[in-house]
Structure 1
Amino acid sequence: MTATVGRDEQLWSRCGGCAALLYRKRLRRNLDVCPECGAHARLGAPERLRQLVDPSSFVALPDCPDDVDPIGFVDVLPYPHRLTAARAGTGLAEAVVCGTATIGGHPVALAVMDFRFLGGSLGCVVGELITCTAERALTDGVPLVLVTASGGARMQEGALSLMQMATVSQAVGALREAGLLTVSVLTDPTYGGVAASFATNTDVLLAESGARMGFAGPRVIRQVTGRALPEGFQTAEFLLRHGQVDMVVQRRALRGRLVALIAAARSGRRAVRRTETGQLVPRQCAAAPAGPGRTVTGTPDGRTVTGTPDGRTVTGTPDGAGAGDPWDTVRMARHPGRPTTLDYLDSAFDGFIELHGDRLGADCPAVVGGLARLGDRHLMVIGHQKGHHTAELVARNFGMASPAGHRKALRLMRLAARLGLPVVTLVDTPGADPGVRAEEQGQAAAIAESILTLSSLPVPVVAVVTGEGGSGGALALAVADRVLMLQHAVYSVISPEGCAAILWPDSSAAPQAARALRLTAPDLCALGIADDIVAEPVPGAHADPEAAGELLRRAVLANLAPLLDVPPAILVRRRRQRFRRYGAARTTGGVGAPTEVVR
C-alpha cells in the first residue's frame, strides 16, 4: 500500500495491487489487507506481533551487544550511519524482534523480522538474536515460530553475515533433534541467505498469501538468464504448486493455523516422552570472539593474531600471502587456467571413483563427488566444477550448482557418514544457480538442507576454498571443522559487482566493493572464518597446477589428521560451537592479513 499525499495522508491509502483508494481505519481493521483485491501490505514486526500473539503475553529477549561493524565497511555511507538511520526510521534496535509469548494459550518462542530495517537483512546481531530465541525454545521445551521478511544476508558485515546462515540453522537443528516443533511463516519478501537457511529448514512452512520467496531475486534472475519470468513466479501460490511450502494462508487465518499446529505438537509431546540428546548448550546473548579461538589486535600492517587453537602466535603476512589489491585477487581467483576440482582430484588425490546423481531424476554437472584416497586414508571428496574454456564452463554451468547438485552432495555426505569416511569439500563457485528452473525445484531449501546436514555430520569435514567462494552456494559445502583457503582465493557474502550495483551508483565500483567486503584469504583468517592459507605457486595456481595440487594435498592431510581420532559427538559439538561463535562477532577497524601459510 502507498499512502496518498496531502493533508488526507493519514486518513487514506492507495492499494499497491489494484490502486483502490481505501479508508485507512477500514484497512487497519482488515489487517492491512485490501478489501477490494486481497493484496497483503507489508507489516512491521510490532504490528505482526499484535496480530499473532495473545494480548500482553509477549516478553522481549534481552538486547544483544552494542553496534557491530566487524569489517569497517564503507560504501557511499559508513555502515554505522546506515544503522542509525534504520533505527530512527523504524524505532527498532535491529531487523528482528525476539521473545516469548503465548499463542492461543500455548507458550512459544518467536522471532519476527522487519523488512523496514535495512531490508530485513541477516547480520551478526540478527543471527545472534534468532539463535538465542531458538536456544530459549530448547531450554523451555516450547515450539519456535519464525516470521521471515528479508532480502538476504547483510553485505556490510561481509562473510560474517554469511556465517549466520549456519549459526541459526544449527540452532534450529537442535530443536529438530529434541522433537520440538519449528514453524516458518514466510512473508513478503523472503530471499537470499534467509530463504536458503533457517526460513526453509523448519518442520512446517506457512506462506502468507501474496508473499514471495526464493534464493535469487527476480531482477537477478532476469539479468543472468535474459528471460522473462513466468507469471506469479516465486509467489506463495507458485511455491505451493512446486511443493516448497505446506500451505498458503490468508493473514486473517494465520493465527488460527498457528494455534492448531502448536496444539497438535503439544499434544504429541505429552503422549510421547523423549530423551533429548545431542543438544546445543543454551547461552545468553553475548559478544563473541572474532572466530574459533582467535582474536584480532593491532593495525592492518603487522597485525597480530593470538589465541589460535594450538596456542600459536602468528605475526605479519607470511611470504606476502594475499598482499596486493583485493580486486586483483578476485581476478586471480577467476582465472580460467586455475585448477578445478577434477584437476585436484587428479593431482592431489588418488583412485577417484565418481558417483553420479541425486536419485530424484537429475545429475548436476556443476558438482562432482565420489570416493578417493589421500595417502592411505579413504574419504569422500565433493566439489564445484567449473572448467577452463567456454564450452566446458557452459557445460558445467560455470560451477553454479542446481538443487540437484546440492542434493547429490547431500547424498554423498550421508553416505560418507554411514561408512565412517571423512569428507573433503573443494569450493569454487560464483554462487548457486540463479535460474528459473532452479527456483522451481527449491534452490533455497536445497542449500538450507545441505548447511543443516553438515552441521551435524558425525565424521570429520575439511573444506578448501580453491577459487571463488560465492555466498550461500559456497557455504553449502563449507560448514566444516577446518576451513582452508588458497592464497589467491576469495570468499564473500556477495560478488563485488553485485555489491557495487546495490550500494554504489553503478557496478563500475566493483574494485571498491572488493576492498570493502574483506574477502581475501588473510581477511577471512583474521575474522576467524578460515583457519589457514594454502600457499600457491608463483604467481598463482594456474602457473603450475601440479605443484598447486601437491600443496593442497599437504594442507588437507595436515588439517585432517588431528580430526580423525575425535569421537563423533565431540566433533559435532565443536563444529557447532565454531559456528555459534559467529553470532554478534565484534571486530572494529580494518582487518589485517596474518595467519599461517601451509606449505
Structure 2
Amino acid sequence: MAETGARVLVEAIARRFERFEPPAVACREPDGPLGWPGYGAQRERAARATGSDESVVCGRGVVGELEAVLVAFDFGFLGGSVGQDAGARIVAAFDHARGHRLPVISLVASGGSRMQEGILALSQLQRIAEACLRTRREGIAHIAVLRNPTTGGMWASLAAGADVVLAQPGAAVAFGGTRVRDPRATGEPFTAEGKFADGQVDRIVDDAELPGVLAELVRLLHPSRLAGPPEPAPLPEAPDVPDLPASGWEAVSRARAADRPRAGWYLDRYFSARFEISGDRAGGTDPGMLCGLGEHAGRTVAFAAQTGTANTPAGFRTAARLVRLADQLGIPVLTLVDTPGAANGAEAERDGAGPAIAELFTAVAAARVPVTTLVIGEGGSGGALALTSPDRTWITADAYFAVIVPESGAAILKRDPSEAPEVADLMRLRPQDLVALGFVRGIAR
C-alpha cells in the first residue's frame, strides 16, 4: 500500500468513502505565502502525478460495519509534506469527527512540514496537536497507521500521540528524516520494528491484515458503542477449587503452583475478541503486563493483566496508559493481579520504578470509569496493589495478597528463611482472611 495513492489506500479500507470539501485557506498566491520560486509549478506536477490536489485526502467512510473519519496522506504529493492547506484539512477532519462522534483513522506517510511554506507550515503542528486534543477530550478515539515513511512533524504531532498506533512492516519511522539526521544514525531505532521494540508502536500490521484490524478497532472503540455511563466489568469465571487453604503458606504455595491458571487462561475465556496494546510510549515494553481492549458479551472492556512475573517500570507505565485511555473513552476496566512484586534491581531503579508505580496508582485513583479487580495468583506488595481497585476487588481460592512476600517479610524481621511459613500465617494473607479484613469483596468461584 505504501506505493499507491491515498485514494486507492482509502478504498481498500473503507466502503462508501466520501471526501470532505476542503476548507478555505486565506493565502492563494501561485508560489505560496513565501513566494517560493517554482513552488506553484511543483504543486501542479504533483497533482498530475497523483491525481490529488494536496498531500492529504480527508473524508468519512464505513470501516467494517461502522463509520469513521479517515485522513490519508499521499507521499507522492511533495513527500506527503504538510503546509497550510493540508494542515487545515487535517484540523477540519478532526473537527468533523468530534461533531459527528466518529473515530479517526490517520494513514500517515509524510516527510514532515513543507519547506516551501516555511514557518507557516511548521505552525500547522500546533494546530493539528490542538485538534487532536479537542477530539480526545470529547472521548473520540484516534487510530494512527504509520506508513513508509513517517518522519518529522507528522510523527511527532499527529501519529505518536494517537490512542492506538499501528505500523506497516519495514516503514521508516523517526523524528529526523534520512536527509537531515546524522548519516551514521541508521538501523532498527528508525524503523517500525524498532519503534515496536521500544514501546512506541502497538502492533506491526501488514497490508493484507490492515482492513480487518482497523474494522476490529473501530468496532471496539466506536462512540456509538460506548454511549452512556459504563457499567462495571463483570468478574471472570474462576476455576473450581473445592476448598480454601488451611494455612498462609498453603495459600502462597497454591498461588505459585505451575499448573495454576494464569492471565491468558482468564482472558481467553472472558473475551470473544481482543486487541492488545504494547509499550509505554517511553522506550519500554513488559511482556509480563498484558494490556488491551476486548469484547465481552457485546461490550467493550479494557484489561490490564499481570502474568506472574516481577513487573518492570515499562509494565506499570503501559498499564497506566491503558487505564487513562479507558477513562478517556468511557470504557470499564478489568485488572488481573498476579505478581510477586515489582522488579527491584538496578535496571528497574534506573528506569524509574517508583515514579512508574506512582503513575499507575494515580491512574487507577483518578479513573472515573469503574475498575474491577480479580486477584488470580500472587498479590505481592505495591507492585500488585497499584493495579488493584480500591473498592471493587475479588480474589480466587488459589491466590493471596500480602504487604510483602513471606520470604522478604522474614528477612525484614531478621528471622531465618526457614521461618517464612510462620510469617505467612502471621500475615493473614489467605483469601478468607482478606475477606474478613475487608480488603476484598469476596472469593470468586
Normalising by structure 2, we get a TM-score of 0.49
Higher relative contact order (CA 8 A, sep 6+): 1
* Greater Rg over alpha carbons, structure: 2
